[in-house]
Amino acid sequence: MGTVIDSHFLGFTAIVTVGYQFLFFIITALLKIDKLTDFAGSTNFIVLAILTLVVKGSWHFRQVVLSSLVIIWGLRLGLFLLLRILQWGEDRRFDEMRGNLGRLAVFWISQAVWVWTVSLPVTVVNASDRNPSLHAADIVGWIIWIIGFAIEAIADQQKLSFKNSPENRGKWCNVGLWKYTRHPNYFGEIFLWWGIFVAATPILDGAEWLVIFGPIFLTLLLLFISGLPLLEESADKKYGNVAAYRIYKRTTSPLIPLPPLVYGNLPLWFKKIFLFELPLYSRSFPDEGPN
C-alpha cells in the first residue's frame, strides 16, 4: 500500500482522529455520560498506530516495535481509566460540561488535537520508506519508554489502592512513588513519549524532525494546562489548611522524582528553574509558597 492523502499520513490520521472523537462526542452528548472520555482518548492512539502500520504495509522492525509500545500503553491506560471511572462513578471534571454542549465540544476538539499531535512520531515512522539498521537511539528510546511506562503504571495502581482504602479517606496520596513526586504518573507519561520520539529519530529527515512537537506539546499540556495546574489547585483547596500537606508540598518535587530530604533543602530559585516548581502550582495559598 502506501500514500493516503499525503505521504506522511498526516491528513489521514487527522481525519481518523476527528471522526473517532466525534463519534464518542455524540455518544457523550446524547447520553450525558462521561465514562468513555478517557477511554476514547487512549484507544484513539491504538487506532492510529494500527491503521498507519497496516496501511503502509512495510512492517519494518522499528515500525512494529514503536506501534506495539503505543498499543501496550494505550490498552493499559484506557482499561485502567475505564475501570476506575466505572468504580468511582462520574468524572468531576465534566460537572460544568454535561449541560453545556459548547464546552463539551471544546473538550473533544482538544482531545482530538492531543491524540493527533502526540502520535506524530509514530505516525511518521510508520509512513516512512526508510529502514536504517538499529541505532543506539532505538535502544535508548525503548529503555526510556520502559522506565516511563513502569512509573506511570505503578503510580496509577498505588494511588488507586490508596484511594480505595477506607482509612485513607480524606487524605492525599503520599505513598510509594508519590513520596518522591507529587505527580509520578504524569512524569511517567511525559518520559515514555519522549522515549518514543528518541526511538523515532533514526528515520527522521528534514522537516520530519518537527514531530518533536508531539512530546513538547504533551509536556507543555501537562505542565501548564490540563495536568498539574488543575490537580495542584484541587489539592490545595482540599488540604491547603492542613500543616502536614503543606510540608508534603514543600518537600516533594512537583514532577521529577527526588528524595524529599534533597528536594526540601534545595533553594526555591533552583526548584523554579530546573524542577518545574512553578508559581501557578501554589495559587491557592500564595502567601506561603512551596519553599
Helices (H), the chain: 10-31, 37-56, 61-88, 101-118, 120-127, 136-164, 184-200, 213-224, 228-239, 243-251, 260-264, 268-274
Phi-psi map region of 182: left, alpha, beta (phi>0 left; psi -120 to 50 alpha): alpha
Stronger pLDDT, 212 or 2, i.e. the higher one: 212
Instruction: Tell whether the model's pLDDT for residue 287 goes beyond 60.
Output: no
Nearest to 22 by CA among 128, 127, 105, 126: 105
Rounded to 10°, the helix 37-56/10-31 angle is 150
Q: Count other Cβ atoms within 10 Å, centred on residue 262.
A: 11
Q: pTM of the predicted model, to two decimals? A: 0.93
Instruction: Tell whether the model's pLDDT for residue 99 goes beyond 80.
Output: no
| Rounded-to-integer distance, Cα 234 and Cα 183, Å | 13
The predicted pLDDT at position 36 comes to 87
Nearest to 281 by CA among 249, 251, 258, 248: 249
Place of cell 495559598: 285
Beta-bridged to residue 4, according to DSSP, are 6
Model confidence band, residue 256 (pLDDT cutoffs 50, 70, 90): very high
In this prediction, residues 82-87 reach a mean pLDDT of 87
* Cα 244 from chain centre: 28
How many Å from the N-terminal Cα to the C-terminal Cα in the chain? 57
CA dihedral (221, 223, 224, 229) positive or negative: positive
Most confident of 166-175, 192-201, 240-249: 192-201
